[in-house]
């Protein structure tokens, strides 16, 4: 994909896109698993508090759990059925988290119960933010940050530009691409809600040049009374990182340790925006999400609307994963996480499932050699850090120096440095360990 001359950011890389097999496949509804596992931790913040009891019958869309504090959100029933139990389940982090185990009733339909609508015309910004929390909406790009918390803008701050992130630069994933094609009106409705909440003067829907059909589709249907535009960016990874988007679109640099609000911008994922537009007018909550299922080991690749809580083992069986599958990523291969178990459940933050076979896995277990100071990682790092120096300090466990002198905490673990390293040094893994050590030290004073 040649996209020279278009806006972008400095540095970055060009990994194989691997999107062709699913970008043209329409979203399909996924069946209910015999048992759905709804973790009560699908967001940054405290676990949600269950509102149901074991043995209780629930209907699809009913609230299963309520927020426990500001950084928590509601959970909703992905299917009508019976609550079998409430107890611990494994998560993508490897930790056990509380969950509601739900057995769908035979013949359970895809219909969703209506709630109390949040009308755009009459709702106040505060009521919209509350409705977003009640709907259980979090960042669907993978971070899981509660959307209502992002929209609580301090009185002393202001936002002039709302950026709707449809870049989807992660290899293999085409979820946002399909949402922009198939849920265009939901995206525009979501933008209207977000503009009202933030007070922003304009919105920009940003996507990469490898999605020309989505760009044309959005532009052709853009309402004349909506203060929004569509911007096509150069194809480059990690274009979808919010600091990179702000740099490319607005020419503003978010300061070290700062937030987009520091430069009067706010970024919201396009799928998150579509869910706001789809759910709030009906007073519904998230009970499913669109996910790309792909990879060399998958027979029936595609984009699926999958009930939250679907066990990974059931999902892989339905799409025909080959027997020699050796590694499964939730999210993309660059910033996603390898599944520690097939017994974990699909959550709101799962944007993709990518399964690799033995041949591909062998390539990922390469011999690590000493750093040769080639400088490739410096050229790749979008944050303009020194990954080689950080890696050297990590190996000598000089974590405080990494943070104080070399801005370790500005790294958002995009994986660009590891991708280009000819010595196959696992830099991102080293940085994650170092950041955890810095946070632990800070927590202990």
Concatenated DSSP letters of 188-211: HHHHHHHHHHH--SEEEEEEETT-
- Binned at pLDDT 50, 70 and 90, residue 441 comes out as confident
pLDDT for the residue numbered 243: 96
Flag the least confident range among 100-109, 267-276, 353-362: 353-362
Query: Is residue 363 pLDDT above 70, yes or no?
Result: no
Query: Is residue 445 pLDDT above 60, yes or no?
Result: no
Flag the least confident range among 182-196, 208-222, 347-361, 368-382: 347-361
pLDDT for the residue numbered 94: 84
For the segment 389-406, what is each residue's pLDDT rounded down to a tens digit?
999 999 999 999 999 999
- When the pLDDT of each residue in the chain is averaged and rounded to a whole number, the result is 94
Flag the least confident range among 35-44, 163-172, 219-228, 320-329: 320-329
Query: Is residue 272 pLDDT above 90, yes or no?
Result: yes
For the segment 87-114, what is each residue's pLDDT rounded down to a tens digit?
999 999 889 999 999 999 987 777 777 8
Give the three-class secondary structure for 233.
strand
Of the candidates 173, 239, 181, 193, the residue with the CA atom closest to the CA atom of residue 11 = 239
For the segment 167-204, what is each residue's pLDDT rounded down to a tens digit?
999 999 999 999 999 999 999 999 999 999 999 999 99
**Superfamily of domain covering 118-282:** NADH-ubiquinone oxidoreductase 51kDa subunit (3.40.50.11540)
Flag the least confident range among 93-97, 123-127, 379-383: 93-97
Provide φ and ψ at 360, rounded to 5°.
-70, -35
For the segment 246-255, what is each residue's pLDDT rounded down to a tens digit?
999 999 999 9
Give the three-class secondary structure for 306.
strand
The percentage of residues in the chain with a pLDDT greater than 90, rounded to a whole number, is 87
Cα 219 to Cα 228: distance, rounded to the nearest angstrom: 10
> Angle, to 10 degrees, between the axis of helix 399-406 and the axis of helix 387-395?
160
Enter the DSSP assignment of 13. B
Cα 391 to Cα 420: distance, rounded to the nearest angstrom: 14
Cα 238 to Cα 240: distance, rounded to the nearest angstrom: 5
Mean pLDDT along residues 48-74: 96
- Binned at pLDDT 50, 70 and 90, residue 3 comes out as low
80: its two tokens? 């009508």
Flag the least confident range among 105-109, 131-135, 137-141, 264-268: 105-109
> pTM score, two decimals?
0.94
Cα 10 to Cα 188: distance, rounded to the nearest angstrom: 30
Query: Is residue 360 pLDDT above 60, yes or no?
Result: no
Whether the CB-CB separation of 414 and 333 falls below 8 Å is answered with no
pLDDT for the residue numbered 63: 96
51: its two tokens? 């509102």
Over the range 320-337, which residues count as b (16 or more CB within 10 Å of their CB) and which as e?
ebbeebbbbbbbbbbbbe
Query: Is residue 2 pLDDT above 60, yes or no?
Result: no
Query: Is residue 36 pLDDT above 60, yes or no?
Result: yes
Domain residue ranges in the chain: 118-282, 376-443
Mean pLDDT along residues 351-376: 82
- Length reported for the chain: 445
Mean pLDDT along residues 60-69: 95
- Binned at pLDDT 50, 70 and 90, residue 230 comes out as very high
Mean pLDDT along residues 111-132: 93
């Amino acid at each position: 994909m040649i996209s020279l001359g278009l806006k972008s950011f400095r540095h970055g890389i060009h990994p194989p896109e691997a999107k062709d097999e699913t970008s043209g496949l329409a979203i399909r509804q996924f069946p209910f698993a015999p048992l759905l596992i709804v973790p009560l931790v699908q967001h940054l913040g405290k676990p949600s508090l269950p509102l149901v009891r074991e043995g209780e019958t629930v209907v699809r869309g009913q609230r299963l759990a309520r927020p426990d504090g500001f950084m928590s959100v509601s959970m909703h029933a992905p299917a009508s059925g019976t609550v079998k139990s409430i107890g611990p389940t494994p998560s993508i982090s490897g930790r056990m988290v509380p969950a509601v185990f739900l057995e769908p009733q035979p013949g359970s339909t895809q219909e969703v119960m209506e709630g109390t609508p949040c009308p755009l015309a009459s709702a106040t910004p505060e009521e919209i933010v509350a409705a977003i929390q009640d709907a259980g909406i979090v960042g669907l790009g993978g971070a899981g940050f509660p959307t209502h918390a992002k929209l609580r803008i301090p009185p002393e701050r202001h936002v002039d530009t709302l950026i709707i992130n449809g870049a989807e630069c992660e290899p293999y994933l085409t979820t946002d691409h399909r949402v922009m094609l198939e849920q265009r009106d939901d995206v525009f409705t979501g933008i209207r809600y977000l503009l009202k909440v933030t007070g922003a003067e304009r919105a920009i829907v940003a996507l990469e040049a490898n999605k020309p059909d989505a760009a044309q589709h959005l532009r052709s249907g853009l309402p004349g009374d909506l203060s929004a535009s569509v911007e096509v960016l150069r194809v480059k990874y990690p274009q979808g990182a919010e600091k990179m988007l702000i740099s490319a679109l607005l020419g503003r640099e978010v300061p070290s340790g700062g937030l987009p609000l520091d430069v009067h911008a706010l970024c919201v994922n396009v799928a998150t925006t579509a869910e706001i537009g789809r759910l709030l007018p009906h007073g519904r909550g998230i009970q499913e999400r669109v996910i790309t299922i792909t990879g060399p080991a998958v027979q029936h690749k595609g984009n699926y609307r999958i009930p939250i809580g679907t066990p990974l083992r059931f999902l892989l069986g339905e799409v025909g994963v080959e027997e020699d599958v050796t590694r499964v990523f939730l999210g993309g291969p660059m910033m996603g996480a390898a599944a520690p178990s097939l017994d974990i459940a699909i959550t709101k933050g799962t944007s993709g499932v990518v399964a690799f076979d033995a041949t591909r896995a062998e390539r990922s277990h390469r011999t690590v050699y000493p750093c040769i100071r080639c400088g490739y990682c410096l050229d790749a790092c979008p944050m303009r850090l020194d990954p080689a120096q950080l890696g050297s300090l990590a190996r000598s466990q000089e974590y405080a120096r990494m943070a104080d002198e070399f801005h370790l905490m500005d790294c958002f673990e995009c994986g660009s440095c590891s991708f280009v390293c000819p010595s196959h040094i696992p830099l991102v893994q080293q940085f994650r360990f170092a950041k955890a050590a810095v946070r632990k030290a800070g927590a202990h004073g």
